[in-house]
């Protein structure tokens, strides 16, 4: 429970995992890898930071949206594994940013996810990453994050 104790010290509470809104499951294990489905930026069950980054969502709010999406991903990991202490390494982060056509700082948005994972997991949190601008996300979310995690 070390990771979860550290989250509590940081003031981070993992939410309940939402039921999927389409035909998928929150996560799938494949050998020693856990693939976490894309998580949106919900806080207390409410979608936050709706809209296009660079138009009606600021870079700063989008960074926070990436953090919220990552916290939701951690909640899925805990539900599937029973403990975040079973995370051996964060392997990959894929971040999707609902972007205005002229917005080109997706990498700074997804730093919200990356910075949080490194803060929580230290060296085990360093990962490969993609930060992709898209024309739309479900429910007009500004950010969606998916993770690939090596587990023990």
Q: Read off the pLDDT of residues 99-132 as tens digits, 9 standing for 90 and up.
A: 999 999 999 999 999 999 999 999 999 999 999 9
Pull the structure tokens for residue 136: 């739309």
pLDDT, tens digit, for every residue of 126-149? 999 999 999 999 999 999 999 999
Domains of the chain, by residue range, sit at 2-9+27-151
Out of 3.10.20.30, 3.40.50.300, 1.10.600.10, 3.30.1330.40, select the CATH number for domain 2-9+27-151: 3.30.1330.40
Give CA–CA dist 103/135, Å, rounded. Answer: 11
The pair of structure tokens assigned to 16 is 């309940």
Average pLDDT over residues 45-50: 94
Residue 126 in tokens:
């360093």
55 by DSSP, 3-state: which? Answer: coil
What is the Cα–Cα distance from 64 to 44, expressed in whole angstroms? 14
pLDDT at 1: 62
Assess whether pLDDT exceeds 80 at residue 50. yes
Give the mean model confidence (pLDDT) for residues 43-58. 95
Lookup result for tokens 């997706």? 106
**% of the chain residues with pLDDT over 90:** 95
pLDDT of residue 21: 83
Cβ–Cβ contacts within 10 Å for residue 9, how many? 8
pTM of the prediction? 0.96
89 phi and psi angles, rounded to 5 deg: -170, 145
């Amino acid at each position: 429970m070390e990771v979860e104790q550290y989250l509590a010290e940081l003031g981070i509470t993992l939410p309940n995992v939402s039921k999927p809104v389409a035909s998928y499951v929150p996560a799938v294990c494949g050998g020693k890898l856990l693939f976490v489905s894309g998580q949106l930026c919900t806080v207390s069950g409410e979608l936050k930071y709706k809209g296009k980054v660079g138009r009606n969502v600021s870079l700063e709010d989008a960074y926070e949206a990436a953090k919220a999406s990552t916290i939701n991903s951690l909640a899925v990991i805990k539900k599937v594994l029973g403990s975040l202490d079973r995370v051996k390494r964060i392997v990959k982060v894929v971040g999707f940013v609902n972007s205005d056509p002229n917005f080109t700082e997706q990498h700074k948005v997804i730093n919200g996810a990356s910075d949080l994972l490194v803060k929580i997991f230290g060296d085990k949190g360093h990962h490969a990453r993609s930060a992709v601008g898209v024309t739309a996300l479900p429910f007009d979310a500004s950010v969606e994050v998916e993770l690939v995690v090596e587990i023990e």
